[in-house]
Amino acid sequence: MKVLVTGGLGFIGSHTCVELLNSGYEVVIVDNLSNSSIDVLEKIEEITSKRPKFYDIDVCDKEEVKKVFRVNKIDAVIHFAGYKAVGESVREPLKYYRNNLDSTLTLLEVMKKENCHNFVFSSSATVYGNPKELPIKEDFPLSTTNPYGTTKLMIERILADLSKADKEMSIIVLRYFNPIGAHKSGLLGENPRGIPNNLMPYIVRVATKELEMLSVFGNDYDTHDGTGVRDYIHVVDLAKGHIKALEKCVRFKGIEYYNLGTGTGYSVLDLVKTFEEVNNVKVPYKIVDRRPGDIDACYADPGKAYEEIGFKAELGIEDMCRESYNYILKNKSD
């Protein structure tokens, strides 16, 4: 079975390509390298001893996407490509709506024309907004707090409408909680350009002394130690969730939604302490004001994904901390 992976050289996309190749799928990657590096292709090959086909094209470019479908008989698409920085999306909403919606519509139109009916979409727990209850179940009300999140929710709505109109389509929407960690080889991981926005990439830069100190955004939340609680999931577990989703996708028609999380919440300080312990390194921090838009706590009810597609996260917070650091130590530019 041949799978087209858009954004396949990104953080989650690259780990998913490894799992697909290791499970015997043929992989075709489309990535415009806007937030990824071509070196990742070599790393995927080094880990799997297989070289996926690669196209350096933009998913918004319909003619180019058509060519990829004509040259390769694509059976299913996993769509990761998209902009994902929350703060930037607030400053430049049109850029986010144009890119994230256009790329998805283009792909879906080409898929229809080329008779490809299997689609797995990278959504986010951000679509649950500020949940009234925890843990979060898939049927909770949806809302968003920023344009990035709104692009995810709008795409979910488009997919729901498409599924009603086109009974041939098989669509799985995966709502990710907070992916961190890296491949245990140290070859793949997350290394954002510039100053990181997210917690784990910031912690590792403080640990390597590239940044002086972590700012902990608020210690007066309604959580066990006052700092924000999130459901951190190892990126390799998350990648494996896509294989389970694909297996389901090809054996049903319609649309389904699954949380990909562990079901356990850890606070900012839990993560800092575990990181310090497992890596034997200091992460100096100071408590600062809350970051606008942040919520107290967010963690998944992972039950539906377990019952319906057999997905269960296996790696713990220690593995996530160890591998995130290991990756940066191996890939640090001195």
Residues that bind ligand UD1 (CB under 6 A): 84, 86, 124, 126, 145-146, 149, 178, 197-199, 202, 214-217, 228, 230, 268, 291, 293-294
Q: Which is nearer to ligand UD1, 41 or 120 (CB)?
A: 120
Q: CA–CA separation, 67 vs 34, rounded Å?
A: 21
Give the nearest distance from C-beta 35 to ligand UD1 in angstroms: 12
Q: Are 35 and 61 in contact (CB under 8 A)?
A: no
Looking at the annotation, which residues are catalytic? 148
Residue nearest to ligand UD1 (CB): 228
Least Cβ distance, residue 177 to ligand UD1 (angstroms): 8
- Tell me whether residue 72 or residue 145 sits nearer to ligand UD1 (CB atom): 145
Tell me the C-alpha distance between 23 and 78, whole Å: 15
CB 154 within 8 A of CB 162: no
Q: Which is nearer to ligand UD1, 2 or 290 (CB)?
A: 290
Cβ atoms of 10 and 80 closer than 8 Å: yes
Q: Take residue 254 and report the two structure tokens written for it.
A: 């319609």
CB of 14 to ligand UD1, least distance (A): 16
Nearer to ligand UD1, 170 or 227 (CB): 227
**Per-residue DSSP letters for 174-236?**
EEE-EEE---TTSSS----SSS--SHHHHHHHHHTTSSS-EEEE-S-SSSSSSS-EE-EEEHH
Residue with token string 């390769």: 72
Q: What is the nearest approach in angstroms of ligand UD1 to the Cβ of residue 110?
A: 26
Cα distance from N-terminal residue to C-terminal residue, the chain: 42
The secondary structure of residue 136, as a DSSP letter, is B
- Residues 123, 102, 6, 232, Cα dihedral to 10°: -20
CB of 41 to ligand UD1, least distance (A): 23
Q: Which is nearer to ligand UD1, 86 or 305 (CB)?
A: 86
